[in-house]
Amino acid sequence: MNLHFKASGHGRALVLLHGLFGSSDNWHYIALKLAEKFRVFALDQRNHGQSPHHAEMNYPLMAADVEKFFTVCGLESAAVIGHSMGGKTAMQLALQFPQRVDKLVVADMAPRGYAPAHDNIFAALLALNLPSFQTRQQIEDALAPEIPNLVLRRFLLKNLGRDSAGTFIWKINLDGLAGNYLRLGEPLVVSSPFAKPALFIRGGKSKYIKAEDEPLIYELFPRAQIQTMAESSHWVHADQPEEFLRLLRGFL
């Protein structure tokens, strides 16, 4: 699968991978700043953004997508940064294709399995009859009872588009994501540890990386360091972008 991407800057290659329901746009500010010193590639993962849709979705496949991107773009290797689902893809890439990853940065995600936590979001989105709506505001209002968090609703609605007739459609493969959601919670497929440097950035107000996850992180990524951004939620790069950039620059 050929992934859609946005490229900017000059220098050593750096690849950015977004989380579930996201796209390359989520990295806009971070990419802008990193492009001052790096050649930055922000990717849309399969079934997201402008990348192709596919019925199958799991981390070995998603890592293979990114590895193919390296081949298509003529990149031998790069530093790879991933948030949430993208962090798991980045970890799988490092374990599956270690020659492609110079340094690994994982934003608020551990290599373990995760129980489903987005069932209500999928149910709310799948229940919408998009052709019946005339405006984005109507869709936002319809989601409000099930998704009362306004920031979350507006994040999700970034995935809205219109077809040639002007009818609302999902740019994401919503059915594909829902059908593979349990696969996205699975632990990584591991053959041997990743021996190069790795940085795990944990949100202090998030429960995605717990103290009990640290032994597994160090087992799979023996050169890992774990940094905590005390005032950040799961969205570390959005909550405190300057602190996130400071940690990135120090590591990269």
Question: Which amino acids are annotated catalytic?
Answer: 84, 175, 234
| DSSP per-residue letters across the chain | ----EEEE--SEEEEEE--TT--GGGGHHHHHHHTTTEEEEEEPPTTSTTSPP-S---HHHHHHHHHHHHHHHT-S-EEEEEETHHHHHHHHHHHH-GGGEEEEEEES--SS------HHHHHHHHH--GGG-SSHHHHHHHHTTT---HHHHHHHGGGEEE-TTS-EEESS-HHHHHHTHHHHTSPPP-SS---S-EEEEEETT--SS-GGGHHHHHHH-TTEEEEEETT--S-HHHHSHHHHHHHHHHH-
Q: Within 13 Å of residue 78, how many CA atoms lie on the same side as its CB?
A: 25
**Cα distance between residue 90 and residue 66, in whole Å:** 9
**Cα distance between residue 156 and residue 224, in whole Å:** 32
**Cα distance between residue 31 and residue 152, in whole Å:** 22
